[in-house]
Structures are given as C-alpha cells and as structure tokens.
Amino acid sequence: MSLADHHRPRLLRGVRVKRDRVRGVDVLLAPERVLRLDPVGCAILAETDGERSFADIVAALAARFDAPPARIAADARTFLQTLIDRRIAEAR
Amino acid sequence: MTETALAPSAASRPAPPPPLAMLAELTHRCPLACPYCSNPLELTRKAAELDTTQWTEIFAQAAELGVLQLHLSGGEPLSRRDLEPLVRAARAVDLYVNLITSGIGLTERRLDALEAAGLDHVQLSLQGVDADSADEIGGYRGGFVRKMQAARWLAARGIPLTLNAVMHRRNLDRLEATIALAVEMGARRLEVATVQFHGWASLNRAALMPTRAQSERAAAVVREARARLKGVLAIDYVPADHHADFPKACMGGWGSTGLNVTPDGTVLPCHAAQTLPGLRFERAPATPLGRIWCDSPAFQAYRGTDWMQAPCRTCERKTKDFGGCRCQAMAMTGDPAATDPVCIRSPHREALTARAERDAGGTAALVYREGCG
Ligand code: SF4
Ligand code: SF4
C-alpha cells in the first residue's frame, strides 16, 4: 500500500521510540530491528500519531523547519513508506 | 535513518561499543525435541538454572550496558513458571522484550499475564505446515494443533507476531505453503531460516541438508513473495551458507552487537561458542555483564580483526563479515581462527561444498534432541 496525502499513518503495536541514554541517540525499536533516528526521523515520528493525515504532518514539519513543503513531503514519504513496507508502520 | 548504524565497524579496545541485543536462554527444558535444536548437546538441567532474582539482576545489568532488545528464549521459555515476572522485570528497565516460543505451554490466562507484563512481541517457531510433518519434526504429537491455537490467541489480542520457520531438505519444497500459513496466521514477519548445522543439527546433516536446487528455488520463491506481500508480510531469508560465496557476519561480528546467556548464567559471544577450544566463559550476574563484555578474554579473542590470519587479514571484506563463523571454522578445519570455510577464498571451501552435497544426497533417519529435567 502506498502512502497518500489523506492517509493517517501510525506506528504499529510493538514499535517504540525511545531515547537511548547509553549512546545518546533516539532509536526506534521494532521486532528484530533497531533503527537509529536522526533529528528529521524523530520529528516525523513525533507527528505520526494515527490522527493526523500525511498532508497535515508535512505542513507541520514545513512550518517547524521553515523548509519547502515539497522537499519535506519527499523525505517524509520515503521514510514512512519504508516503515510501512517493512510492517513497522501502517497507513489507514 | 541508518540501520545497524549503532554496530561498530571494527574492534576498538579498550572500550568496545555496547551490545544491542541479548539472548537469554532461560531454560533448556522443552516439550519438543527438534533434531535441529541449537541448544548444546550437553543440556543444562533445571537444578542449575538461574532463579528469578538472578535473571532480574542480569536484565538490569544489560540495560545499563546498552542492550536495547531482549530475546527470551530456551529451550521453551514457557517451561519457566516465572516467565511473567521476568517479562515485567525486563520492561521495568525499559528493554524491548521478545518471546521466542514454540507456543506449547501457552494458555489464554498466561498470555493475558504476559501481555499485562508488557511483552512487546512474540516469535513463534514453526516445525511444519501440517500436523503430520510438524509433529514428526518436533517429536511431539498434538504440537501443531496447540501451536495453531496459540497463534489464534495471539492474533485475537493483536500481539505482534513473527513466524520463524526453520527450513531444511524435508520442508523446503513447501515454502509457498509456509508463506501462505504465515499470512493466514496474521504474522507481520516471517523468518525463513535454513538450518544452521550447530548443536543437535550437527548430528543431522545427512537428514536435513538441503540440495542446491532446493536453495535456488527457495530464493526465487522468497523474491516473488516479498514483492507480492509488500506491506502485508515482511520476509527475512537466511539461505544455506554453502550456496553463497561469502560467509555471513556471525552475530554481526564476535563481541560486537550481541551476547547470549545460557540457563546457568554463562555469558557467550554466540550460542555455539562453547564448542571452541581454549576459551573460558564467565557467569553473570556474579561477574557483571559489563565487565564480561568489555574485559573478558573470551569476548576479546575474536573481536574485530586483529586475530585474523590469511586470507582474511588482507581481505577488503574483513570488516563486513569479520571472517565469518568461528564455530564453523572450528568444526570444518579444526582451527577456530581460520577463515570460515564457506568463503570461496578459503582453501577448505571445496571440501565443504563436497561434504554438503554428499549430505544433501543422504538418507539418514532423524536424531532427536534429548529432554532435560
Ligand atoms: S528448537 Fe525445538 S527442541 Fe529446541 S528449544 Fe526450540 S522448540 Fe525446543
Ligand atoms: S577472506 Fe575472510 S574476510 Fe575475506 S570474504 Fe572470506 S571470510 Fe570474509
């Protein structure tokens, strides 16, 4: 399934984001996966709550980072689509 | 997002990067008797198992060291009456808790308690796609039916599920059915792992070694299924070693990303490390996990690349695969520091292939894992 603007993405159950205090980074923990999150990934996931649509997420991030929405949309789409394809997130 | 970016690229004494994952073999007891069981031939008895307090202490030490994911394994972890408090203890120190189980011994009441304790994920082992073949491999009548019941309970609660299918000559031709079953069970992930010939599997080479034709077909089946099931089922595939050109980085490199703790607290760099000569392994929690990880000679023995011989020493892949599996090198060449014989640059590769092909044409009966009380 590919992520459309009206979809409301969310992390699946069994997936958690946490601060890794030992390494001083943010990580996403999923079944058999540990992904290190950069600040952009963190910001995207902070907006990804299953309530907001992908379009809302992009708008919020574009405002927050004062960046062109098209670029934010491309980055966020790639990132979230990868998580969806790997069954870490879903879009409804 | 960089996957496994937390894994180190090479050894760095004196302070190695911390491990990401810990496998806790809570017990070697198991109602099943799989002929490929990765437990050692010499099983630890119940009387020697660590108790709840000792495991709780180890989980705390692991979290402090930097472990993020905990795999509760066995044997069958459900054989431990204290599994629920152990899950709670691991979550209390913020570990990601994965339960690796055959599903035998699970009841709805236990599952509710495990869920309430904060269990993150379940990995269910699959011995076959129907009762006859599954129960024959598991050596346990009725096992398949109980496993399918367990899968339905998991699905009803929405607990994330990975199905772990160990593949070998007897079931590799039913890979499509295995994939279909994973979808039917509502699994999110499927691990298709070709049997590794350590532990009890080393007694079953001639009974279980897949043929080259089977492996090649399996790779094609996985490729097709991955594309078709994108976003439905994630599939990890571990092909047979000797059908590849280069070895896998065993455990992501010795002493680099993970560690195993046996039922009596012995801390190992990999589950078969006790088959290597000259290494002395220490026990947690009496010796703290962090000290073992950083300072124990056994963890330093094959960490990084300094220990390597030719051809690994000068090879451009040495920080990718770390020379492969030490236990396989030992088993096939008698030298634990040799290049993994799976590597096409190893002088033993031809012999390895020849032996695997001979085993693949074999007809031996299954040798089952023994029980342990
Ligand atoms: S491989 Fe089979 S016998 Fe070994 S612990 Fe797992 S279920 Fe039990
Ligand atoms: S020679 Fe050693 S380092 Fe190079 S590919 Fe083979 S096993 Fe890996």
Give the ipTM: 0.93
- Candidates B248, B315, B348: which one to mutate for ligand 2, based on the most atoms within 8 Å of Cβ? B315
Ligand nearest to the backbone CA of B104? 1
Q: Count up the domains in chain A and report the number.
A: 1
For residue A2, tell me if it sits in a domain.
no
Residue B271: what pLDDT?
87
Is residue B76 within 8 A of residue B32, CB to CB? The reply is yes
pLDDT number for residue B250: 86
Per-residue pLDDT tens digits of chain B, which is 373 residues long: 444 444 444 444 568 999 999 999 999 999 999 999 999 898 999 999 999 999 999 999 999 999 999 999 999 999 999 999 999 999 999 999 999 999 999 999 999 999 999 999 999 999 999 999 999 999 999 999 999 999 999 999 999 999 999 999 999 999 999 999 999 999 999 999 999 888 899 999 999 999 999 999 999 999 999 999 998 999 999 888 878 899 988 888 999 999 999 999 999 999 889 989 999 999 999 999 999 999 999 999 999 999 999 999 999 999 999 999 999 999 999 999 999 999 999 999 999 999 999 999 988 899 999 887 6
CB of B201 closer than 6 angstroms to any ligand 1 atom: no
Helix (H, G, I), strand (E, B) or coil at B72: strand
Task: For residue A92, tell me if it sits in a domain.
Answer: no
> What residues of B are designated binding site for [4Fe-4S] cluster?
30, 34, 37
Structural contact between residues B360 and B200, judged by C-beta atoms closer than 8 angstroms: no
Q: Is residue A49 part of a domain?
A: yes
Decide if A30 is inside a domain.
Answer: yes
Domain assignment present for A47: yes
Q: Tokens for B165?
A: 């299918």
Closest ligand 1 atom to Cα of B75 = 5
Residue of B63, B95, B99 lying closest to B80 (CA atoms):
B99
Q: Which two tokens stand for residue B128?
A: 């076959």
Domain residue extents for chain B: 21-250
> pLDDT tens digit string along B156-180?
999 999 999 999 999 999 999 999 9
* CB of A71 less than 8 A from some CB of B: no
Domain containing A66 equals: 10-86
pLDDT at residue B13, rounded to an integer: 53
For the stretch A46-78, pLDDT in tens is: 999 999 999 999 999 999 988 899 999 999 999
- Is residue A37 domain-resident? yes
For residue A19, is pLDDT > 90? yes
- Tell me how far apart the alpha carbons of residues B82 and B84 are, in angstroms, rounded to a whole number: 6
Which stretch of DSSP H or E encloses residue B183?
helix B175-184
**CATH number of the domain enclosing A38:** 1.10.10.1150
8 A C-beta contact, residue B206 and residue B361: no
Q: How far is the centre of ligand 2, averaged over its atoms, from the C-alpha of B333 (Å)?
A: 15
Cα B114 → chain centroid: 22
Which one-letter DSSP state was computed for residue B317? T
Cβ-contact B247, B349 below 8 angstroms: no
Q: Is residue A51 domain-resident?
A: yes
Does domain B21-250 bear CATH number 3.80.10.10?
no
CB contact under 8 A, B188 and A31: yes
Q: What's the gap between Cα B290 and its chain centre?
A: 22
**Which residues are near ligand 2 (CB < 6 Å)?**
B 246-247, 311-312, 315, 317-318, 321, 323-324, 339-340, 343, 345
